[in-house]
Amino acid sequence: MHIHILGICGTFMGGIAQLALACGHRVTGSDAHVYPPMSEQLRASGIELIEGYDEQTLSVAPDMWVIGNAISRGNPLLEAILNAGAPYTSGPQWLSENILGGRRVIAVAGTHGKTTTTSMIVHILSVCGKKPGYLVGGVPSDLGVSAALGESKAFVVEADEYDTAFFDKRSKFVHYRPWTAVLNNLEYDHADIFENLAAIEKQFHHLLRTIPSSGLVIANAQSPALERVLAQGCYSRLERFNDNHGWSIDEERVVRLGGQSLGRLEMPAPGRHNASNALAAVAAARDAGIDPLEAIAAMKSFAGVKRRLEVKGEAAGVVVYDDFAHHPTAIEETIAALRSQLGPKRRILAVFEPRSNTMKLGTMKARLPQALSDADRVFCYRGPGVDWDPAIALLPLGMKASTFSGAVEDLAQAVATAARKGDVVLCMSNGSFGGIHQKILDELAKRQAKTAG
């Protein structure tokens, strides 16, 4: 079968492409903005990419069009597909109907930490010989690809609450019908499709309705919103983490179950949020038949996920990091994790782009000063579609905050000029950020060359 994917360079749809290819299908795809790491994965797999959504692409004539949720009515290619009466489906539905049937699905849901926790579970199962299938909304550093069929019944999937497609406004995760569901946390996000937190809670309740009574829900006890979801009805076994009566982890990263110590978690990933993610991963692995002691030991070799505190390079004594953080809570936790790793003496220069639909709407702009407060300098880039003024929103940060619009090169130059030897630059965006990381490194290298000369 030949399938053509619209929005193929998104992390989820790119994963669908790799799974379809592994099943023996011919796969092609279209996207408006082709950027790494997904574009590199797809090309390395031999998948043909078509730039843009010209209606002439209809001549590709696949057996099935798979439509990503970033594609909306008015898209020229989508309109051509509809007018031609061609067969189409969504990515989550294709996954459910072609991959997940007969698999023991472990789904990871929540506002934050889905990609990292999913990757941790895949890592534990892989190290312990389970050979799972998986689809992650990112690229685990030790696996190199975001999706694989695997060889066992276990399939681990990042379960996003965002809507499925232009024709299916249910959350993606209702298609997955998991046996084990990790509920990491729940906050308001996706202001472009959810009117309030209660609307998201309703979707999580729908997810719980799909889990078998013999299945397992692993929920973060520190999330009031998740407690409200569970109060609406939980029909399966239930375990809580970050809970003294269930799964817990202390500041020394000692893991306990029901108060009984199971061992100390040793892994490179810093921060409270990563400790919580790992705790949930160990709990999920236990339900898949992995002894917690083995799971904890497996986490020693967890290499992390690309775009999660990923070091992009170093120049002039300055280290540049890349991170996917875009929600205020994620921004605050990412800075805190980096601070815990570096200590109080090294400066953190936070470079942030409000690029998600929620941030573009300005829904959470009032939370940004607190989220960015532990950085020593803050640089905010106002890109297209941001109709609020970051300079006003960041006034509580005083002189340490600067805002930019226009050319990304100007921002890169300003960051490089402000940076001193020993500093770290933390770039945060859910997009490519115009290649800001390399531009900063290039500017720093120029400065270093001038000093050497």
Q: How far apart are CA 257 and CA 245, in angstroms?
A: 7
Same domain, 167 and 261: yes
Instruction: Give residue 35's pLDDT.
Output: 65
Asked if residue 385 has pLDDT above 90, the reply is no
Same domain, 274 and 342: no
Asked if residue 110 has pLDDT above 70, the reply is yes
Instruction: Give residue 453's pLDDT.
Output: 60
Instruction: Give residue 36's pLDDT.
Output: 65
Q: Which ranges of 110-223 does DSSP label H, i.e. alpha helix?
A: 114-127, 197-209
Q: How far apart are CA 12 and CA 159, in angstroms?
A: 10
Same domain, 197 and 81: no
Task: Examine residue 63 and state whether it is found in any structural domain, yes or no.
Answer: yes
Task: Examine residue 95 and state whether it is found in any structural domain, yes or no.
Answer: no
Q: In this structure, are residues 41 and 60 in contact, taking their beta carbons and an 8 Å threshold?
A: no
Instruction: Give residue 146's pLDDT.
Output: 85
Determine the Cα angle at 68 with ends 64 and 72, to 5°. 110
Same domain, 78 and 111: no
Task: Examine residue 325 and state whether it is found in any structural domain, yes or no.
Answer: yes
pLDDT category, 181, cuts 50, 70, 90? very high
Task: Examine residue 235 and state whether it is found in any structural domain, yes or no.
Answer: yes
446 vs 67, residue with greater confidence: 67
Burial 317-349 (b: 16+ CB within 10 A, else e): ebbbbbbbbbbbbbbbbbbbbbbeebeeeebbb
Domain boundary among 301, 333, 359: 301
Give the tokens for residue 385.
């579609």
Asked if residue 10 has pLDDT above 90, the reply is no
Asked if residue 253 has pLDDT above 70, the reply is yes
Asked if residue 73 has pLDDT above 90, the reply is yes
The secondary structure of residue 242, as a DSSP letter, is: S
Instruction: Give residue 218's pLDDT.
Output: 98
Asked if residue 220 has pLDDT above 70, the reply is yes
Q: Into how many domains does the chain fold?
A: 3
Instruction: Give residue 452's pLDDT.
Output: 66
Give the CATH number, domain containing residue 380: 3.90.190.20
| Alpha carbon separation from 231 to 189, 279, 342, 419, 429 (Å, rounded) | 21, 23, 41, 50, 34
Tokens 């903005």 locate to: 33
Same domain, 221 and 245: yes
Asked if residue 65 has pLDDT above 80, the reply is yes
Same domain, 340 and 430: yes
**Rg value, the chain, Cα:** 22
Task: Examine residue 96 and state whether it is found in any structural domain, yes or no.
Answer: no
Asked if residue 141 has pLDDT above 70, the reply is no
Asked if residue 37 has pLDDT above 90, the reply is no
Domain boundary among 60, 90, 120: 90
| Alpha carbon separation from 423 to 13, 68, 238, 343, 415 (Å, rounded) | 36, 40, 45, 12, 11
Same domain, 286 and 215: yes
Asked if residue 169 has pLDDT above 80, the reply is yes
pLDDT category, 42, cuts 50, 70, 90? confident
Q: How far apart are CA 61 and CA 356, in angstroms?
A: 33
Give the CATH number, domain containing residue 213: 3.40.1190.10
Domain boundary among 90, 121, 146: 90
pLDDT category, 267, cuts 50, 70, 90? confident
The average pLDDT across 20-36 equals: 88
Q: Which domain holds residue 249?
A: 101-301
The rounded mean pLDDT for the chain is 90
Same domain, 69 and 119: no
pLDDT category, 306, cuts 50, 70, 90? low
Same domain, 426 and 287: no
Task: With CA atoms as reference, report the closest residue to 108 among 69, 56, 147, 161.
Answer: 161
The average pLDDT across 378-398 equals: 89
Residues contacting residue 312 through CB under 8 Å, at least 6 positions apart: 320, 321, 322, 427, 437, 438, 441
Same domain, 153 and 275: yes
Give the pLDDT confidence of 333-365 residue by residue, as tens digits. 889 888 887 877 889 999 999 887 777 777 788
Give the CATH number, domain containing residue 69: 3.40.50.720
Same domain, 83 and 106: no
Same domain, 275 and 417: no
